[in-house]
């Protein structure tokens, strides 16, 4: 009922949530999770597979449908009021792709978790917006082994990693996301992204820097690609160890 006859003022994002600001004081938020899609379709367009919710949109007497589709049902659509949206924001760390993330704060957030640096980058409370592919490529670009312990990250390494994260994410935005072989991800108009053509290490067999074989390992259940020659494990803040 909060969406009926409401006008969309703005469309933004909170971490991995797409947020529509409505003119009635409420917010419509979507989390796409692994297989979610948010599609704009003409009324004549055939029904999309796995459609869960359909919103009717009208502008200048032209009507279209916004379809929320999800094969695995991990995604969600939620209505928030202003207070609830603020609580949602408090669940997340700073936005990873922005240039105003404080390096000291980022380092402290990493060290607050006793885990691997790969796991820490996927923790949305530490830094928001990173997924498995982008975390993997960011670590490669920064030259840090994914199994480095967070307590061994010094501010210099954290700064280098933060720069890599910003670069990788903004490249991904520029290339409109990554569409893998399953073709699951497409944008609102149904078009695939192209960032998969620019991966640094994810899905690769040989290193683009040294031409050595790329290794793949499950870290906390997520497939992680790394080069044991170009990425080092930091045993202490100032003592790297090559594998």
The yes-or-no verdict on residue 191 having pLDDT over 60 is: yes
Q: What is the pLDDT of residue 83?
A: 98
Report the domain count for the chain. Answer: 2
Of 104, 80, 102, the residue nearest 91 (C-alpha): 80
Q: How does pLDDT run across 104-118, given as a tens digit for each residue?
A: 999 999 999 999 999
Q: What is the pLDDT of residue 237?
A: 46
Q: What is the pLDDT of residue 243?
A: 53
Q: Are strands 222-226 and 215-219 parallel, antiparallel or unpaired?
A: antiparallel
Structural domain includes residue 76? yes
A 10 A CB-CB count for 53 gives 13
- Say which CATH number the domain at 69 has: 3.20.190.10
19 vs 59, higher pLDDT:
19
User: Which of 60, 90, 120 is the endpoint of a domain?
Assistant: 90
Q: How does pLDDT run across 204-238, given as a tens digit for each residue?
A: 999 999 999 999 999 999 999 999 999 999 886 44
Q: Are residues 81 and 155 in the same domain?
A: no
| Residue labelled with tokens 């082994």 | 145
Q: What is the pLDDT of residue 1?
A: 77
Structural domain includes residue 98? no
Q: Are strands 26-31 and 8-14 parallel, antiparallel or unpaired?
A: unpaired
Distance CA 140, CA 232 (A): 10
| Residue labelled with tokens 């949305």 | 124
Q: What is the pLDDT of residue 99?
A: 74
């Amino acid at each position: 009922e909060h969406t009926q006859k409401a006008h969309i003022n703005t469309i933004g994002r909170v971490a991995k949530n797409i947020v529509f600001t409505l003119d009635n004081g409420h917010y419509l938020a979507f989390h796409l999770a692994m297989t979610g899609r948010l599609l704009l379709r003409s009324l004549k367009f055939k029904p999309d597979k796995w459609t869960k919710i359909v919103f009717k949109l009208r502008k200048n007497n032209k009507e279209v449908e916004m379809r929320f589709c999800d094969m695995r049902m991990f995604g969600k659509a939620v209505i928030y009021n202003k207070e609830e949206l603020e609580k949602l924001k408090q669940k997340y760390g700073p936005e990873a792709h922005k240039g105003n993330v404080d390096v000291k704060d980022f380092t402290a957030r990493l060290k607050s978790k006793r885990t691997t640096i790969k796991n820490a980058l996927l923790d949305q409370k530490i830094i928001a917006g990173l997924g498995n592919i982008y975390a993997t490529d960011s670590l490669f670009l920064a030259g840090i082994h994914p199994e480095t312990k967070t307590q061994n990250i010094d501010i210099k390494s954290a700064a280098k990693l933060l720069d890599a994260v910003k670069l990788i994410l903004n490249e991904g935005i520029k290339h409109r996301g990554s569409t893998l072989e399953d073709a699951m991800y497409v944008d609102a108009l149904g078009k695939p992204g192209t960032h998969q053509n620019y991966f640094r290490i994810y899905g690769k067999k040989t290193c683009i820097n040294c031409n050595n074989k790329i290794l793949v390992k499950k870290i906390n259940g997520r497939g992680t690609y790394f080069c044991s020659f170009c990425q080092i494990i930091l045993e202490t803040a100032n003592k790297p160890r090559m594998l």
